[in-house]
Amino acid sequence: MQPTDIRQTQRLISKGDHSAEAHVSRQLDLIERENPGLNAFTSVAAAQALEQAREVDLKQREGTAGRLAGAVIGIKEAIVEKGRICTSGSKMLASFESVYDSTAVERLRAEDAILIGRLNMDEFAMGSSTENSAFGITRNPADPSKVPGGSSGGSAAAVAAGLCHAALGSDTGGSVRQPASHCGVVGLKPTYGRISRYGLIAYASSFDCIGPLTQSVEDAALLLSVLAGHDPKDATSSRQPVPDYASLSETLSAGIRVGLPEEYFGEGLDPEVKNLVMQQVEVLKAAGAVPVPISLPHTPYAVATYYILATAEASSNLARFDGIRYGHRADRGKMLEELAAEKKQLQKNGGNTATVDSALIRLYKQSRTEGFGPEVKRRIMLGTYVLSAGYYDAYYGKAQRIRRLIQQDFLDAFRSCDVILSPTSPTTAFGIGEKTDDPLQMYLSDIYTISANLAGIPAMSMPAGLHPADGLPVGVQLMAPHFREDLLFAAGRELERAQQSAG
């Protein structure tokens, strides 16, 4: 049977029962068979992956293999790889080939990870369903009529379907954890600054985090050990020492206090999702944990605060994609012909041709109109509005103050608990097309994940079981104080062991 996690594969390779090249060949066959129906991969690097696998087998024989030798990993389209097209799910970057590796990719390569392909996503990471990609929707492996979540839906679907051991995603408001929940895998958003953002195409720079999606908590800990650490190319990356997360994640300290925020278990939460999440509380309680009721009083303002601040940053970050400096450029010849025809018509009708855009302004407008999809345009316009004169203080300034209050909520809560446990999403995966005409309902699917990004704390989603009505995966979310990912892994391993024991 094909192993699905990194550690299991590595054990087989080290015993000589398996080779990296044979494993990658089987993965490529599986991708060829399954990906047309899922659309998780936008491109597959078959020759490169096989070459890397042969190098891993050689290093294995020489005893020089890295910590990720044999690990087959996919990369979200928002994270650049040298020599690969990196679209960020957008027509705007459909032909952009990166000339350098992101720091995260560099660190994977340095430990002999095998990079097998690029993974689909919502355009510029703006979405919760991976329906906004310019390269088609991605489907949930658990039920192809359902979304996989977003924006890292391709990453979650690929891992859940066993097309790769793990994947890199990015999390701005829940984009690793929510799809992990909907697809039934582990998804980690580390502390802001724990993993370098160098080479991550920006959506909202004060929120964006690169994070792994994996088959197990152990694999998530292993990947964070490789990916974490200061990077001089990213001024926001932390200089905090990087512990050996894998060795720290095995045991849960007796008496650990697990906070249960009342605001995360109220109206809007599917009762069966709540039941499965509360079963995880009982597992931790049986292992010696102490449940503690807590309050995060500013939670009701989190979604509005996030969509003001994140869109404001997006409107600034995406200004560079104008067809001149970066990105898709409209057909200039055709545009000039249309411009000339418009002026001619105005002159014929006695109109003022001074009202017609200049050729440069028209080029900007046409390039961005053609390059960006509807959701990206919506968020750029919203962000530009909240930053505009007369509205800055009323919206952006006020949202920044509320963000600080949300951060303080978590600081206060962690005085009375060590980790916080909640649902990851209020429901299981919804149907494809179900929420595309209702942006507010789409945004509310991230209601339990957004606050961790606002506060900059680490959070992880892991499987909590299957919903009894629809059989779809349900996720439980764990949150911890800044740079205490070890607590997430310890609690997660306890939950994982209980699930494995239950069969």
Which residue, among 333, 318, 322, 326, has the nearest Cα to 366 in the 3D structure?
A: 322
CA 484/CA 410 separation, integer angstroms: 13
The DSSP call for residue 79 is B
239: left (phi over 0), alpha (psi -120 to 50) or beta: alpha
CA 280/CA 141 separation, integer angstroms: 24
Which residue type occupies 291?
P
Q: Of the residues 129, 152, 175, 445, which is catalytic?
A: 175
Determine whether 316 is an active site residue.
no
Q: Of the residues 76, 146, 189, 435, which is catalytic?
A: 76
- For residue 399, what are the contacts with CB-CB under 8 A and spacing of at least 6? 304, 305, 308, 309, 386
Positive or negative torsion for Cα 359, 365, 369, 372: positive
CA 138/CA 121 separation, integer angstroms: 8
Determine whether 59 is an active site residue.
no
CB 284 within 8 A of CB 317: no
CB 71 within 8 A of CB 165: yes
Determine whether 175 is an active site residue.
yes
Q: Which residues of 466-479 are buried (b: 16+ CB within 10 A; e: fewer)?
A: bbeeeebbbbbbbb
Q: Of the residues 151, 155, 367, 425, which is catalytic?
A: 151
* Residue positions annotated with a catalytic role: 76, 151, 175
